[in-house]
Amino acid sequence: MPKRIMAGPVVSDKTDKTVTVLIERKVKHPLYGKIIRRSKKYHAHDENNEFSVGDVVRIEECAPISKTKSWKVIGAAGKGADVASMPSDAEEINTETLTEGEAA
């Protein structure tokens, strides 16, 4: 089975060689059908203490390192401000369909 890889912002770097990463996902409510945001914090191993609060990192599942750590940081996905300013795929699709409709 392949290892899971996720990305999210670092919310804490207070412990040695460990960062806490907040992962958000969107889930459809089983009864009402509304899309709900669910979040979970993961402790990830940061060997060189190179990431700080606000950095967006990618984490990969690994063998348990300690009681609470089963993830390791595999690299930076960007800074928080840089990622927030980038348009999402949904925004790009909406923009493209609007420009095509206006041109016709």
For the chain, percent of residues with pLDDT exceeding 70 = 75
State the pLDDT confidence band at 1, using cuts at 50, 70 and 90: confident
Average pLDDT, the chain: 84
Rounded CA separation 9/55 (Å): 6
C-alpha angle 82-88-90 in degrees, rounded to nearest 5: 170
Any idea which of 30-34, 55-59, 60-64, 100-104 has the lowest mean pLDDT? 100-104
Structural domains of the chain ordered from first start: 5-103 (2.40.50.140)
pLDDT tens for each residue of 32-50: 999 999 999 999 999 999 9
pLDDT tens for each residue of 67-88: 999 999 999 987 654 444 444 4
Tracing tokens 């063998």 back to the chain, one arrives at 63
> Would the pLDDT of 55 be above 90?
yes
